[in-house]
């Protein structure tokens, strides 16, 4: 999760208000500086959501098999490794329950990982209820993701892999959706560095997000289920043969996560071209203005 203004009405149809699942056991609730945080067990899963009445879940963990990735989108994010199978320095923006850094620590034990989360309460909850424990190569920064990227930009730090997974209870914070932010991220990618971004598969912003990513990176790969994961690589996308070769290299390491090439490779496709006149999201022309939603 990360801070920033959000779209309070734009996704109301997608994220209808809902109470916790029937039969769920609530373990923890608190009001942080940013929002309500709720942790509950339900049907063999431990989940976190932001907002007592939000339908969306930020994190779920299998209580029977804690290595297995529960959500399709987290498994799809692993496809970033098909574009660069041996990243040495990683940046993850948005912590949730620590699912992504926990998985990547296990499959890339020598890699240095920076995880950025704006809400200290989320970091505490991830450790207490989801077993998130930063390894010796992992550092957690409690600050806004864009502020962190700007600082790395000034320090000329470069990453081999950047994962954007910053969500509030409604959608991605606006300041992490714009072309200016994506260009800042592009500037901290090492040669051959990869960006993976978790977005919605259907939303009123879909084409605008696509056009914005294209304006910053050109054609990109995408995987789509209930979410859409966008993949780009500095210097251009790899061809299919390289993806398949890297998938084979990674198959054994990804298997404990519940990720396999037979499931993952067919989801990958190139996305390019949008309806004429599609607006690029910018710091000045924000999603709120585009959708005529007042903050």
Where do the domains of the chain lie? 72-290
- The contacts of residue 124 (CB under 8 Å, 6+ apart) are none
Which stretches of the chain drop beneath a pLDDT of 70?
A: 1-22, 52-55, 169, 290-295
Cα(97)–Cα(94) distance, rounded to whole angstroms?
9
- At residue 277, the pLDDT reads 87
Q: Tell how strand 112-116 and strand 89-93 pair up.
A: parallel
Q: Given this model, what pLDDT does residue 19 score? A: 42
- pLDDT tens column, 25-54: 999 999 998 888 999 999 999 999 987 655
pTM of the model: 0.89
Residues 6+ apart with CB under 8 A from 239: none
Look up 119 and say whether it is catalytic: no
Q: What pLDDT sits at residue 53?
A: 56
CATH class of 72-290: alpha beta
CA–CA distance, 164 with 139 (Å, rounded to integer)? 16
Q: Which of 114, 144, 160, 165 is catalytic?
A: 165
- Cα separation of 231 and 225, whole Å? 15
**What is the predicted pLDDT for the residue at 52?**
64
């Amino acid at each position: 999760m990360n801070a920033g203004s959000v779209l309070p009405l734009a996704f109301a149809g997608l994220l209808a208000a809902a109470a916790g699942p029937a039969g769920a056991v609530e373990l923890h609730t608190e009001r942080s500086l940013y929002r309500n945080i709720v942790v509950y067990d339900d049907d063999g899963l431990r989940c976190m959501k932001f907002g007592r009445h939000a339908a969306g879940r930020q994190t779920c963990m299998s209580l029977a098999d804690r290595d297995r990735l529960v959500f399709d989108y987290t498994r799809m994010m692993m496809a970033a490794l098909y574009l660069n199978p041996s990243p040495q320095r990683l940046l993850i923006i948005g912590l949730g329950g620590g699912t992504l850094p926990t998985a990547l620590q296990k499959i890339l034990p020598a890699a240095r990982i920076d995880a950025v989360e704006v809400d200290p309460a989320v970091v505490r909850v991830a450790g207490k209820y989801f077993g998130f424990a930063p390894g010796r190569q992992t550092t957690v920064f409690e600050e806004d993701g864009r502020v962190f990227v700007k600082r790395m930009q000034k320090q000329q730090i470069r990453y081999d892999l950047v994962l954007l997974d910053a969500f509030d209870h409604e959608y991605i914070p606006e300041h992490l959706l714009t072309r200016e932010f994506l260009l800042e991220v592009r500037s901290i990618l090492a040669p051959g560095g990869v960006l993976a971004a978790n977005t919605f598969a259907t939303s009123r912003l879909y084409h605008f997000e696509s056009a914005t990513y294209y304006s910053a990176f050109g054609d990109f790969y995408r995987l789509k289920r209930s979410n859409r994961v966008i993949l780009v690589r500095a210097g251009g996308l790899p061809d299919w043969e390289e993806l398949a070769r890297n998938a084979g290299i990674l198959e054994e390491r990804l298997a404990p996560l519940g990720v396999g090439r037979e499931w993952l490779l067919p989801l990958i496709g190139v996305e390019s071209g949008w309806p004429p006149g599609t607006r690029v999201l910018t710091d000045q022309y924000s999603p709120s203005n585009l959708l005529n939603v007042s903050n």
